[in-house]
Structure 1
Amino acid sequence: MTHDDRTPRDIDIEAIRREIADSYDEELELELEDERLEHLEPHPGEDHPDGPSRREYFRELLRLQHELVRLQDWVQDQRLRVVILFEGRDSAGKGGVIKRITQRLNPRVCRVAALPAPNERERTQWYFQRYVAHLPAAGEIVLFDRSWYNRAGVERVMGFCSEAEVEEFFRSVPEFERMLVRSGIVLLKYWFSITDVEQELRFRMRIEDPLKQWKLSPMDVESRRRWEDYTRAKEDMLARTHIPEAPWWVVEAVNKKRARLNCISHLLEQIPYGEVAHPAVHLPPRERHADYVRGPVPAQMYVPSRY
């Protein structure tokens, strides 16, 4: 059967298979090394018409993650400050790409800021104040899983702020971001774009999967009903905050694997980095002292060996 001969039901089944296969593959990603890639078997229905095969995906992801480690070394060595914003509709894949970026990096160098809704005190502060507290120091990378653009998106659509506050945000945010860039911060902004049909599929998969139901909040469910409101808000946001100093980059994210590879590859191209020389590590012999006797550990302190 060709792609053109498929029925909507065929397409739905293929999409569900891809979602399930992607969940399985998440468990493998940290264990993969180059020599294991050749032994990967395909999952039924794994390939998206426009996406990489499973083996190609893993091979390229591993290569890009090696480059991310090199970038991390460079950021530390050159004492750079890097901020990367990830925005998009609910279930667009922001968390998935953030997970792949951080998987093999040092959490003391590369950390994620995923702020909850502001509390009563924070609502009385300057709008950007709680985000400023999470900006990086020298030698750090901060990934914002949603950012100050909440005001232009969920807060605006759900009525959590006034239109006057939205307008003030649009006046302030270009100057705020220019100030960050002038201070020496590398600022990147990504919008993850998915279709109406794809979001509905991902929501339904989350509803059915007990391991992923926590990802679906009442706010997410409401966002489905307000798809068009979010579209208008997104278009306004991109038009009014796409500035030369901090442009938006749109990631086509219907195919999760392709979106991850494209985003990470693009990110690496935005920050010129080089090789950092590391001194050779030599493991010294352990010291041994004649008067050292290891004390006993009470049996009740041990975790039971159930497995």
Structure 2
Amino acid sequence: MDNREIADLHRRIERELLDSYDEELELELDDQRFDEIGSGEAPPDSDDERAKRRRYFTELLRLQGELVKLQDWVATTRHRVVILFEGRDAAGKGGVIKRITQRLNPRVCRVVALPAPNDRERTQWYFQRYVPHLPAAGEMVLFDRSWYNRAGVERVMGFCTDAEYEEFFRSVPEFERMLVRSGIQLIKYWFSITDEEQHFRFMSRIHDPLKQWKLSPMDLESRARWERYTVAKETMLERTHIPEAPWWIVEANDKKAARLNCIHHLLGQMPYTEVQRALVELPARVRHADYTRHPVPREMVVPAWFR
């Protein structure tokens, strides 16, 4: 790269770091006013960028309010739904899952992110280790990667045989139709990013000590096998895009737009309505004359380093 390209990359990495600060702010932001956010010591930003960020937070909070309504509807109607999130490394799957679940009850909406199969699981029916995580009545389950590992990383990295690969494609449509027939709604998302965008996101992780843990040897190997992953993805979409459980493609080069678009689309997949809650009244504190609070020993108290 020439000096100009290097300088541009540095600027983008700085912007990515700023976005990561936004993400942390986003996770803490509840009742603060938006006009209070810009009062800190943040790096200077253009009016357009500040306005865009404000729109993003405003829309995200609105959509998260709708997700709370969806959650209540799922629990009340005893609906069952499975949502799969697939895509290349650094495509933004985890980011959108985090925003979906951020304000929801983990007893209603839970995330499944399984590690690589152990020696025993490798000898099981391929779908067996996923079945225990399927939802009961009134539950939403989000799979951060799923049984489609066989069509992607296992195929590209040579972790399955040709026979196992072909058997997967014979089995998965029937497996998913069986889930749907049993009353489970199945929604499948593929997060799509370009070669250049993945390269940039990997570079930003290298430069961000809080995100370096996200880079694994498998991630780095995926860069060298980009085209093989593309072929595997195209084959997967062609052979598993079925009417009962179609694939939905999320254009994810713009992470924040991808989050909003995915959540908006997800909300449109279920005919939820707002569930009216009973008015909550806080009961009065009951005091007893014979109650005495015991003092807490000072050595048990966490030191107040921050005030």
Per the normalisation by structure 2, the TM-score is 0.92
1:238-270, Cα deviation, whole Å (9 max, x unpaired)? 000000000000000000011001000000000
Letter of the 2:13 counterpart: I
Q: Percent identity?
A: 73
| 1:119 match | 118
- Does residue 201 (structure 1) correspond to residue 200 (structure 2)? The answer is yes
Counterparts of residues 182-261 of structure 1 (less than 5 Å): 182-261=181-260
Counterparts of residues 39-118 of structure 1 (less than 5 Å): 39-41=36-38, 44=45, 53-118=52-117
Structure 1 176/47 Cα, relative in aligned 2: closer, same or farther at 3 Å?
farther
Query: Which secondary structure state, in structure 2, belongs to the residue aligned with residue 144 of structure 1?
Result: strand
Structure 1 22/43 Cα, relative in aligned 2: closer, same or farther at 3 Å?
farther
- Contact kept? 2:17, 2:208, Cα under 8 Å: no
Q: Distance in 2 between matches of 1:168 and 1:211?
A: 40
- Does residue 37 (structure 1) correspond to residue 38 (structure 2)? The answer is no
1:84-138, Cα deviation, whole Å (9 max, x unpaired)? 0000000000000001101111111111100000011111111001111111111
Q: Distance in 2 between matches of 1:44 and 1:150?
A: 40
Q: Distance in 2 between matches of 1:270 and 1:10?
A: 43
Query: Which secondary structure state, in structure 1, belongs to the residue aligned with residue 274 of structure 2?
Result: coil
Q: Distance in 2 between matches of 1:104 and 1:291?
A: 40
Letter of the 1:287 counterpart: V
Per the normalisation by structure 1, the TM-score is 0.92
Structure 1 109/46 Cα, relative in aligned 2: closer, same or farther at 3 Å?
farther
Task: Quote how far apart the aligned CAs of 1:34 are.
Answer: 7.2
Task: Quote how far apart the aligned CAs of 1:82 are.
Answer: 1.0
- Contact kept? 1:152, 1:166, Cα under 8 Å: yes
Q: Distance in 2 between matches of 1:10 and 1:253?
A: 24
Task: Quote how far apart the aligned CAs of 1:40 are.
Answer: 4.9
- Contact kept? 1:76, 1:138, Cα under 8 Å: yes
Gaps of 5+ in 2: none
Query: Bigger CA drift: 297-306 or 110-119?
Result: 297-306
Query: Bigger CA drift: 273-282 or 52-61?
Result: 52-61
- Does residue 28 (structure 1) correspond to residue 25 (structure 2)? The answer is yes
- Contact kept? 2:205, 2:211, Cα under 8 Å: yes
Structure 1 301/34 Cα, relative in aligned 2: closer, same or farther at 3 Å?
closer
Task: Quote how far apart the aligned CAs of 1:47 are.
Answer: 6.8
Q: Distance in 2 between matches of 1:158 and 1:210?
A: 28
1:136-175, Cα deviation, whole Å (9 max, x unpaired)? 1111111100000000000111011101000000000000
The aligned length equals 298
* Segments of 4+ moved more than 6 angstroms: 45-48
Query: Which secondary structure state, in structure 2, belongs to the residue aligned with residue 249 of structure 1?
Result: strand
Query: Which secondary structure state, in structure 2, belongs to the residue aligned with residue 232 of structure 1?
Result: helix
